[in-house]
A and B are shown apart, each in its own frame.
Chain A
Amino acid sequence: EDKVVQSPLSLVVHEGDTVTLNCSYEVTNFRSLLWYKQEKKAPTFLFMLTSSGIEKKSGRLSSILDKKELFSILNITATQTGDSAVYLCAAPTDSWGKLQFGAGTQVVVTP
Protein backbone atom coordinates (compact mmCIF):
# COMPACT_ATOMS: atom_id res chain seq x y z
CA GLU A 1 0.00 0.00 0.00
CA ASP A 2 1.33 3.40 -0.97
CA LYS A 3 1.78 5.84 1.87
CA VAL A 4 3.10 9.30 2.63
CA VAL A 5 4.07 10.25 6.18
CA GLN A 6 4.85 13.74 7.40
CA SER A 7 6.62 14.84 10.53
CA PRO A 8 6.27 16.59 12.83
CA LEU A 9 2.49 16.87 12.95
CA SER A 10 2.76 20.38 14.32
CA LEU A 11 5.29 22.89 15.53
CA VAL A 12 5.42 26.39 16.92
CA VAL A 13 8.32 28.72 16.11
CA HIS A 14 9.18 32.38 16.56
CA GLU A 15 9.44 34.80 13.69
CA GLY A 16 12.87 34.61 12.14
CA ASP A 17 13.43 30.95 12.97
CA THR A 18 14.16 28.31 10.34
CA VAL A 19 11.75 25.42 9.95
CA THR A 20 12.42 21.99 8.43
CA LEU A 21 9.50 19.76 7.53
CA ASN A 22 9.86 16.10 6.66
CA CYS A 23 7.99 13.88 4.25
CA SER A 24 8.76 10.20 3.77
CA TYR A 25 7.07 8.05 1.20
CA GLU A 26 6.55 4.51 0.04
CA VAL A 27 5.17 4.53 -3.47
CA THR A 28 5.41 1.53 -5.76
CA ASN A 29 6.00 3.46 -8.97
CA PHE A 30 7.41 6.74 -7.78
CA ARG A 31 7.10 9.63 -10.19
CA SER A 32 7.24 12.84 -8.20
CA LEU A 33 6.61 14.46 -4.85
CA LEU A 34 4.63 17.65 -4.38
CA TRP A 35 4.44 20.21 -1.59
CA TYR A 36 1.41 22.39 -0.90
CA LYS A 37 0.63 25.14 1.60
CA GLN A 38 -2.87 25.23 3.03
CA GLU A 39 -4.14 28.18 4.98
CA LYS A 40 -7.86 28.37 5.51
CA LYS A 41 -9.05 27.20 2.14
CA ALA A 42 -7.39 25.81 -0.96
CA PRO A 43 -3.99 24.14 -0.82
CA THR A 44 -1.66 26.19 -2.98
CA PHE A 45 1.06 24.49 -4.96
CA LEU A 46 4.64 25.09 -3.84
CA PHE A 47 6.99 22.59 -5.47
CA MET A 48 7.09 19.43 -7.54
CA LEU A 49 10.23 17.34 -7.21
CA THR A 50 11.24 14.57 -9.55
CA SER A 51 15.01 14.34 -9.31
CA SER A 52 17.17 13.51 -6.33
CA GLY A 53 19.49 16.12 -4.90
CA ILE A 54 18.27 19.08 -6.92
CA GLU A 55 17.03 21.84 -4.67
CA LYS A 56 14.00 23.84 -5.72
CA LYS A 57 13.77 27.32 -4.28
CA SER A 58 11.15 30.02 -4.13
CA GLY A 59 11.99 32.99 -1.96
CA ARG A 60 12.49 31.77 1.60
CA LEU A 61 11.15 28.29 0.81
CA SER A 62 13.21 25.47 -0.56
CA SER A 63 12.80 21.75 -0.98
CA ILE A 64 14.88 18.75 -1.90
CA LEU A 65 14.22 15.10 -2.66
CA ASP A 66 16.22 12.02 -1.71
CA LYS A 67 15.04 9.10 -3.84
CA LYS A 68 17.47 6.68 -2.25
CA GLU A 69 16.23 7.29 1.31
CA LEU A 70 12.66 8.00 0.13
CA PHE A 71 12.08 11.37 1.70
CA SER A 72 11.83 15.05 1.03
CA ILE A 73 12.30 18.11 3.19
CA LEU A 74 10.79 21.54 2.97
CA ASN A 75 12.75 24.39 4.53
CA ILE A 76 11.43 27.78 5.45
CA THR A 77 14.04 30.34 6.46
CA ALA A 78 13.47 33.63 8.30
CA THR A 79 9.89 32.61 9.06
CA GLN A 80 7.13 35.20 9.13
CA THR A 81 3.65 35.04 10.64
CA GLY A 82 2.28 34.66 7.11
CA ASP A 83 4.04 31.29 6.91
CA SER A 84 1.60 29.91 9.47
CA ALA A 85 -0.29 27.17 7.65
CA VAL A 86 -0.60 23.43 7.18
CA TYR A 87 2.03 22.11 4.80
CA LEU A 88 1.05 19.03 2.83
CA CYS A 89 3.16 16.69 0.81
CA ALA A 90 1.77 14.26 -1.73
CA ALA A 91 2.88 11.72 -4.30
CA PRO A 92 1.05 10.43 -7.37
CA THR A 93 0.45 6.71 -7.01
CA ASP A 94 -0.54 5.78 -10.54
CA SER A 95 -0.38 6.88 -14.16
CA TRP A 96 -3.59 8.91 -13.79
CA GLY A 97 -2.02 11.30 -11.30
CA LYS A 98 -3.97 10.19 -8.24
CA LEU A 99 -2.33 11.87 -5.26
CA GLN A 100 -1.68 10.21 -1.91
CA PHE A 101 -1.42 12.97 0.70
CA GLY A 102 0.31 12.99 4.03
CA ALA A 103 -1.62 14.20 7.08
CA GLY A 104 0.17 17.54 6.97
CA THR A 105 2.38 19.55 9.32
CA GLN A 106 0.77 22.51 11.07
CA VAL A 107 3.24 25.36 11.42
CA VAL A 108 2.48 28.26 13.75
CA VAL A 109 4.81 31.24 13.61
CA THR A 110 4.48 33.55 16.60
CA PRO A 111 5.51 37.22 16.52
Chain B
Amino acid sequence: SQTIHQWPATLVQPVGSPLSLECTVEGTSNPNLYWYRQAAGRGLQLLFYSVGIGQISSEVPQNLSASRPQDRQFILSSKKLLLSDSGFYLCAWSSGVKQPQHFGDGTRLSIL
Protein backbone atom coordinates (compact mmCIF):
# COMPACT_ATOMS: atom_id res chain seq x y z
CA SER B 1 0.00 0.00 0.00
CA GLN B 2 1.03 3.58 -0.50
CA THR B 3 2.31 5.74 2.32
CA ILE B 4 3.43 9.33 2.56
CA HIS B 5 5.95 10.64 5.05
CA GLN B 6 6.64 14.20 6.06
CA TRP B 7 9.24 15.51 8.43
CA PRO B 8 9.81 17.15 10.76
CA ALA B 9 6.44 17.14 12.50
CA THR B 10 7.11 20.46 14.22
CA LEU B 11 9.70 23.12 13.63
CA VAL B 12 10.52 26.41 15.31
CA GLN B 13 12.75 28.71 13.30
CA PRO B 14 13.96 32.30 13.69
CA VAL B 15 13.05 34.93 11.12
CA GLY B 16 15.60 35.00 8.32
CA SER B 17 16.71 31.39 8.72
CA PRO B 18 16.51 28.84 5.88
CA LEU B 19 13.93 26.08 5.63
CA SER B 20 13.81 22.60 4.20
CA LEU B 21 10.77 20.34 4.59
CA GLU B 22 10.81 16.93 3.04
CA CYS B 23 8.07 14.65 1.79
CA THR B 24 8.44 11.15 0.40
CA VAL B 25 5.91 8.72 -1.00
CA GLU B 26 6.27 4.95 -0.96
CA GLY B 27 4.45 2.22 -2.80
CA THR B 28 3.73 4.06 -6.04
CA SER B 29 5.60 5.52 -8.97
CA ASN B 30 5.28 8.82 -10.79
CA PRO B 31 2.81 10.33 -8.32
CA ASN B 32 1.47 13.85 -8.61
CA LEU B 33 2.82 15.75 -5.60
CA TYR B 34 1.45 18.83 -3.88
CA TRP B 35 2.45 21.27 -1.11
CA TYR B 36 -0.31 23.08 0.81
CA ARG B 37 -0.28 25.57 3.65
CA GLN B 38 -3.05 25.83 6.18
CA ALA B 39 -3.25 28.99 8.26
CA ALA B 40 -4.99 28.79 11.63
CA GLY B 41 -8.75 28.40 11.19
CA ARG B 42 -8.57 28.49 7.42
CA GLY B 43 -8.74 26.07 4.54
CA LEU B 44 -5.81 24.68 2.65
CA GLN B 45 -4.00 26.83 0.12
CA LEU B 46 -2.09 25.13 -2.67
CA LEU B 47 1.52 26.34 -2.89
CA PHE B 48 3.21 24.04 -5.43
CA TYR B 49 2.45 20.96 -7.43
CA SER B 50 4.53 18.61 -9.53
CA VAL B 51 3.56 16.03 -12.14
CA GLY B 52 7.10 14.69 -12.65
CA ILE B 53 10.76 14.93 -11.70
CA GLY B 54 12.04 18.47 -12.08
CA GLN B 55 8.58 19.81 -13.00
CA ILE B 56 7.29 22.34 -10.49
CA SER B 57 4.36 24.71 -10.80
CA SER B 58 3.93 27.55 -8.34
CA GLU B 59 0.52 28.79 -7.35
CA VAL B 60 1.27 31.67 -5.02
CA PRO B 61 4.14 34.17 -5.30
CA GLN B 62 6.16 34.02 -2.11
CA ASN B 63 9.63 33.41 -0.75
CA LEU B 64 9.16 29.65 -0.80
CA SER B 65 10.35 27.25 -3.48
CA ALA B 66 9.87 23.56 -4.19
CA SER B 67 11.96 20.90 -5.83
CA ARG B 68 11.46 17.31 -6.88
CA PRO B 69 14.90 15.73 -7.13
CA GLN B 70 13.54 12.18 -7.27
CA ASP B 71 10.30 10.61 -8.43
CA ARG B 72 8.81 10.23 -4.97
CA GLN B 73 10.52 13.08 -3.13
CA PHE B 74 9.19 16.61 -2.82
CA ILE B 75 11.02 19.34 -0.93
CA LEU B 76 9.77 22.73 0.23
CA SER B 77 12.48 25.32 0.86
CA SER B 78 13.13 28.89 1.74
CA LYS B 79 16.35 30.88 1.88
CA LYS B 80 15.01 33.37 4.45
CA LEU B 81 11.87 32.76 6.45
CA LEU B 82 9.37 35.50 7.20
CA LEU B 83 6.97 35.70 10.13
CA SER B 84 4.13 35.21 7.66
CA ASP B 85 5.52 31.79 6.72
CA SER B 86 4.20 30.34 9.96
CA GLY B 87 1.56 27.69 9.44
CA PHE B 88 0.77 24.06 8.95
CA TYR B 89 2.39 22.63 5.82
CA LEU B 90 0.92 19.56 4.22
CA CYS B 91 2.27 17.39 1.44
CA ALA B 92 -0.12 15.32 -0.65
CA TRP B 93 0.07 12.80 -3.47
CA SER B 94 -2.30 11.36 -6.01
CA SER B 95 -1.96 8.61 -8.58
CA GLY B 96 -3.49 10.79 -11.26
CA VAL B 97 -5.22 14.08 -11.79
CA LYS B 98 -8.64 12.47 -11.53
CA GLN B 99 -7.80 10.61 -8.36
CA PRO B 100 -8.18 11.86 -4.77
CA GLN B 101 -5.20 13.37 -3.03
CA HIS B 102 -3.84 11.76 0.11
CA PHE B 103 -2.09 13.82 2.73
CA GLY B 104 0.91 13.43 4.97
CA ASP B 105 0.75 14.27 8.67
CA GLY B 106 2.05 17.79 8.11
CA THR B 107 4.71 20.04 9.59
CA ARG B 108 3.71 22.72 12.05
CA LEU B 109 6.10 25.62 11.44
CA SER B 110 6.47 28.48 13.90
CA ILE B 111 8.60 31.48 13.09
CA LEU B 112 9.97 33.53 15.98
Contacts and interface: CB of A to CB of B under 8 A. Distances in A.
Interface of A: 4, 31-32, 34, 36, 41-45, 48, 88, 90, 92, 95-99, 101-104
B43 A88 contact: yes
A47 B9 CA distance: 26
Contacts of A44: 103
Interface residues of B, number: 25
B86 interface: no
A42 B100 contact: no
Given A41-B106, A42-B105, A31 B44 contact: no
A96 B100 contact: no
Given A96-B57, A103-B43, 18 more contacts: A4-B43, A31-B98, A34-B101, A42-B90, A43-B90, A92-B97, A95-B97, A96-B51, A97-B32, A97-B98, A97-B99, A97-B101, A99-B34, A99-B44, A99-B46, A99-B101, A101-B44, A104-B43
Interface string B39-58: 00111111001010000010
Nearest to B46: A98
Contacts of A48: 100
